[in-house]
Structure 1
Amino acid sequence: MKMPKENMDINMFAPCGMNCMVCYKHCYHKKPCAGCLNSDTGKPEHCRKCKIKDCIGLKEGNYCFECSDYPCKQIKNLEKSYNKRYQASLMENSEFVREHGLELFMEKQKEKYTCAKCGGIISIHDRECSECQEKMK
């Protein structure tokens, strides 16, 4: 899946702070996941059963950072996992969106996760390009 010429779709920003465009499930499949806030088609089971997604559906707002309980235990646990496994911070993503807006965040993500070699999307999960399978550092 090539990086779109325009900026990444802002509807691909999940309530927790994840950019679904750079998820392995979106990058590598013929029927890519449509993102957290869209249909469950193509989603892995853990995303379909996500308690964070279910929680945000019960509250006002679209993003966890808009909640008075933020950061809750679920967000803290996910943050810890992403820090350790992928050297990424979903809370930093959310804070950037809060301060600078979703459009600028997605513009920055496009710069960070576009393969310089072929223009594919680099997955946050394994740092591999969706097109040329080049491993990024």
Structure 2
Amino acid sequence: MKMPREKIDMIMFAPCGINCKVCYKHCYHKKPCAGCLNSDKGKPEHCRKCKIKDCVREKTLSYCLECSEYPCKLIKNLEKSYNKRYQASLMENSEFVRQHGLEIFMERQKEKYTCPKCGGIISIHDGECSECKTKKNR
């Protein structure tokens, strides 16, 4: 899957702070999921059963960063996992969005995760381009 030439759709920003556009599920499948805030069609089981997504819906929020309990235990646990496994901070993503806005965040994500060789999407999970399979150094 190629990175879109235009902007990344802002609906791809998940409540927890991940950009769903750079998720391995979105990058590698012919029928990618439409992001956390859309339907569960095409999502892996762990995303369909996500307690964070359920919590945000229950509280009628769009993003965890809007919650008075942020960061909660669920976010802190996910943050720890993403820091360790992918060298990425979902809380830093959310803070950037809070300070600079979602549109600027998505512009920066597009720059960071577009393969310079072919324009494919570099997955946050394995650092591999969806098109040419080039690995990005983390």
Shift in Å at residue 59 of structure 1? Answer: 1.0
CA distance, structure 2, for counterparts of residue 130 and residue 54 of structure 1: 29
Shift in Å at residue 60 of structure 1? Answer: 3.4
Aligned pairs for 1:1-137 within 5 A: 1-137=1-137
State the Cα deviation string for residues 22-61 of structure 1 (Å, max 9, x = none).
0000000001011000011110000000000000001132
Tell me the amino acid that sits aligned with residue 18 of structure 2: M
User: What RMSD, in angstroms, separates the aligned Cα atoms of the two structures?
Assistant: 0.5
Tell me the amino acid that sits aligned with residue 97 of structure 1: V
Q: Percent identity at matched positions?
A: 81
CA distance, structure 2, for counterparts of residue 70 and residue 87 of structure 1: 21
Shift in Å at residue 7 of structure 1? Answer: 1.4
SS for the counterpart of 1:131 is coil
SS for the counterpart of 1:96 is helix
Between 1:40-49 and 1:52-61, the stretch displaced more is 52-61
Tell me the amino acid that sits aligned with residue 103 of structure 1: E
Tell me the amino acid that sits aligned with residue 111 of structure 1: E
SS for the counterpart of 2:133 is coil
SS for the counterpart of 1:34 is coil
Alignment length (residue pairs):
137
Tell me the amino acid that sits aligned with residue 70 of structure 1: Y
Gaps of 5+ in 1: none
Shift in Å at residue 87 of structure 1? Answer: 0.1
Tell me the amino acid that sits aligned with residue 17 of structure 2: G
CA distance, structure 1, for counterparts of residue 87 and residue 120 of structure 2: 21
CA distance, structure 2, for counterparts of residue 20 and residue 136 of structure 1: 18
CA distance, structure 1, for counterparts of residue 33 and residue 136 of structure 2: 22
Gaps of 5+ in 2: none
CA distance, structure 1, for counterparts of residue 7 and residue 99 of structure 2: 19
